[in-house]
């Protein structure tokens, strides 16, 4: 079973993850992992922190001579900013009031975390609830994407909305190039410009912005997941993983939201046969009956605006109960472009998990063989 745990505070020494159940024999393309980390950092709308960090992955276990060996893979990313926070984030140093947070941000984990873990300083909560953690999850997902590539699965993700600005996505062959040409990772050039203007408007107003991202997995075999138990449904598993991303408040599979308002004949994807079973449309986002159906898997994640606003929101001082304005020190204005990279990684992890569950194996060699045998079998149906 593929699984991972991660740890690390936003301004602590490092972020770390142990990935367990990863098959042996995968050649690690470190450049690809670092490319994804760089992209996650570089979308338009980020704050000052990204000028300090230079996220790169370090392998601490489970890899020898560039190849996974079957044992747990431990990876780490250093927080460069730790040097500026040593006094505040030290595990054993002298207690300091420096950097103490006492006015919780509405929409953040601040207040409930402070109550739940009985802390005096909200910093103890915000350090771990911070979306900085998505850096290590991006690295885990990038590893999984390398594994999926071995069985012909490819992923792409992009931004479809920032605030009220919506993109008109047309599927060009060179979509990846169009995504990377856009500072907000949106393949619609016009919308991309409007999104940048919207982020600037938010910046001037001391505001923050949310939005929507889409991720697509191509080349996924039919039959992943199962209708036989509720918790084996692939749509349930994908939604679980994706909802676990900070600030994501809704997940859509295919045209899940829109289909609720249509007649059945407008919502379903009619079937034809052309060497394999195909659909005229893909409104279901590649999933029917809790199983992949062989079409592209299409998911969207909806992100709320970041709760750290320069202009602040009404809050309360937790030491005096006096009215006040929520805490602000430094923040991103919009992290939706970053989310597109994180969603791609989380989708890769969930798909790798489900692939290994069906074709489970200890080695990449076996895994690839079993998937290709299954593809041969499908041709006989």
Binding site for ligand EPS (CB under 6 A): 10, 47, 49, 53, 126, 130-132, 134-135, 308, 330-332
Q: Which is nearer to ligand EPS, 2 or 303 (CB)?
A: 303
**Cβ at position 14, least distance to ligand EPS in Å:** 12
Q: Which is nearer to ligand EPS, 126 or 165 (CB)?
A: 126
The answer to whether 334 and 318 are in contact (CB under 8 A) is no
Q: Which is nearer to ligand EPS, 83 or 189 (CB)?
A: 83
**Cβ at position 312, least distance to ligand EPS in Å:** 14
Q: Which is nearer to ligand EPS, 125 or 146 (CB)?
A: 125
**Cβ at position 79, least distance to ligand EPS in Å:** 8
- Which of 215, 68, 219 has the alpha carbon at shortest distance from 151? 219
Largest CA distance in the chain: 72
Question: Residue 288 forms beta bridges with which residues?
Answer: 291
Q: Which is nearer to ligand EPS, 130 or 293 (CB)?
A: 130
Q: Which is nearer to ligand EPS, 237 or 340 (CB)?
A: 340
**Cβ at position 126, least distance to ligand EPS in Å:** 6
Distance CA 307, CA 334 (A): 10
**Cβ at position 271, least distance to ligand EPS in Å:** 43
Q: Which is nearer to ligand EPS, 251 or 341 (CB)?
A: 341
Sign of CA dihedral 213, 237, 70, 72: positive
**Cβ at position 58, least distance to ligand EPS in Å:** 16
**Cβ at position 330, least distance to ligand EPS in Å:** 4
Residues 6+ apart with CB under 8 A from 152: 219, 371
Distance CA 323, CA 326 (A): 10
For the CA atoms of 282, 218, 356, 66, what is the dihedral angle to 10 degrees?
-160
Q: Which is nearer to ligand EPS, 140 or 234 (CB)?
A: 140
**Cβ at position 207, least distance to ligand EPS in Å:** 15
Distance CA 351, CA 297 (A): 10
Cα radius of gyration rounded to whole Å, the chain: 22
Residues written for the chain:
381
Distance CA 83, CA 370 (A): 48
**Cβ at position 132, least distance to ligand EPS in Å:** 4
Residue 348 — φ and ψ, nearest 5°?
-60, -45
The answer to whether 297 and 347 are in contact (CB under 8 A) is yes
Distance CA 323, CA 201 (A): 28
The answer to whether 150 and 355 are in contact (CB under 8 A) is no
Q: Which is nearer to ligand EPS, 37 or 143 (CB)?
A: 37
Question: Residue 314 forms beta bridges with which residues?
Answer: 325
Q: Which is nearer to ligand EPS, 137 or 283 (CB)?
A: 137
Sign of CA dihedral 140, 144, 149, 150: positive
**Cβ at position 209, least distance to ligand EPS in Å:** 14
The answer to whether 38 and 31 are in contact (CB under 8 A) is no
3-class DSSP state of 67: strand
């Amino acid at each position: 079973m593929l699984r991972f745990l991660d740890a690390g505070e936003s301004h602590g020494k490092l972020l770390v993850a142990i990935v367990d159940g990863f098959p042996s024999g995968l050649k690690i393309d470190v450049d690809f992992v670092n490319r994804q980390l760089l992209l996650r950092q570089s979308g338009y709308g980020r704050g000052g922190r990204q000028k300090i960090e230079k996220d790169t992955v370090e392998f601490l276990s489970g890899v020898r001579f560039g190849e996974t060996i079957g044992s747990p893979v431990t990876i780490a990313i250093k927080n460069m900013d730790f040097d500026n926070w040593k006094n505040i984030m030290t595990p054993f140093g002298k207690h300091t009031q420096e950097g103490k947070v006492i006015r919780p941000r509405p929409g953040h984990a601040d207040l409930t975390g402070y109550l739940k873990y009985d802390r005096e300083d909200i910093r103890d909560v915000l350090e771990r609830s911070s979306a900085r953690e998505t850096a290590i999850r991006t690295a885990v997902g990038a590893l999984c994407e390398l594994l999926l590539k071995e069985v012909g699965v490819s992923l792409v993700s992009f931004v479809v909305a920032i605030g009220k600005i919506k993109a008109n996505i047309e599927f060009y062959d060179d979509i990846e190039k169009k995504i990377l040409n856009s500072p907000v990772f949106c393949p619609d050039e016009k919308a991309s410009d409007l999104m940048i203007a919207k982020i600037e408007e938010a910046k001037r107003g001391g505001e923050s912005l949310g939005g929507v991202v889409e991720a697509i997995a191509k080349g996924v075999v039919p039959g992943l997941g199962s209708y036989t138990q509720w918790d084996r449904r692939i749509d349930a598993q994908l939604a679980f993983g994706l909802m676990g991303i900070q600030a994501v408040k809704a997940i859509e599979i295919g045209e899940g939201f829109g289909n609720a308002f249509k007649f059945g004949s407008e919502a379903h994807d009619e079937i034809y046969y052309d060497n394999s079973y195909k659909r005229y449309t893909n409104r279901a986002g590649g999933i029917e009956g809790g199983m992949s159906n062989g079409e592209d898997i299409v998911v969207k994640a909806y992100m709320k605006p970041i709760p750290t606003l320069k202009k602040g929101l009404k809050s309360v001082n937790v030491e005096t109960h006096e009215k006040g304005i929520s805490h602000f020190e430094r923040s991103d204005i919009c992290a939706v472009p970053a989310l597109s990279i994180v969603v791609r990684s989380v989708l890769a992890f969930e798909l790798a998990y489900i692939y290994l569950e069906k074709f489970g194996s200890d080695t990449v060699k076996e895994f690839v063989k079993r998937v290709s045998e299954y593809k041969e079998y499908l041709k006989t149906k």
